[in-house]
Structure 1
Amino acid sequence: MKNVFTPETATELLQRIGNLTPETQPQWGKMSVDQMLAHCNVTYELVYEDKHPKPKGIMKFLVKLLVKNFVVNDKPFKPNVHTAPHFKITDSKNFEAEKARLKQFITQTQELGTAHFEGKESHSFGKLKSSEWNNMFYKHLDHHLRQFGV
């Protein structure tokens, strides 16, 4: 899996995002390109913004038990996998604003680097290794960029 903490991978992701236009159509799934960008931003909102409630109690236990490994392992997501409710985007979004936010989040993550994420607490999964953070960031973005053919 490519490493989002390296300038080379961050640049590649930024270029792929730069190839998206408001008219870009998905190869699978129901999201429009603006919704996909907003959806990808949720991953970073969970890290950098305090706007999504954290799972508690039994829900937190189940998320860690049943979802964590699927999200942080190095196996790519398959098309049309289910998503968590707070990742579902159903309304139209401002394409340029969501695109700019995503690019900023990718740059910020790369600049903070591996050491910043080593042992960092995630919103839903507890403390993660930097390799798990990398897998989660990269494979989610790569999945959706492939979804839109870039």
Structure 2
Amino acid sequence: MRARINQDVKDAMKAGEKARLTTLRLITAAIKDRELGIGGQAPTDVGDAEIVVILQKMVKQRRESIATYEKAGRTDLADQEKSEIAILEAYLPKQMDEAATKAAVTALVAELGAAGPKDMGRVMGAMKERFAGQMDFGKASGVLKELLK
């Protein structure tokens, strides 16, 4: 994934796509920050799974910014954040829709033999392991709570 991002930086430079280039540089900076341990985290080698986590965090930050900008009436800044989200999401795995999430949670509950709320942590851990980057775990948690009542 890192090689793809680096190649896209070069392509954006050649094409003169300033907005795309800026967003791609933010991605590479976030990856380097994580590698160096900037921000109170331990230095680590960053693989594709970690890059997905970084990108998801960046998308979440931009969604929060959009809400703030729209409350303040700054649609120009909100539009800029939306365009950055579109660029970031191009590198993320396709997210499961609601039906696929329900099916995956139901299958995992049956597979693990989860019977009640006390099994929720075990099921959530397995979901995060199997579906990292593919599932909105907030929504999945709600589905799981309904199943384990």
Same fold (TM over 0.5): no
The higher radius of gyration belongs to: 2
**TM value normalised by structure 1:** 0.28
Relative contact order: is structure 1 or structure 2 higher (C-alpha 8 Å, sep ≥ 6)? 1
Structure having the larger proportion of residues in helix? 2
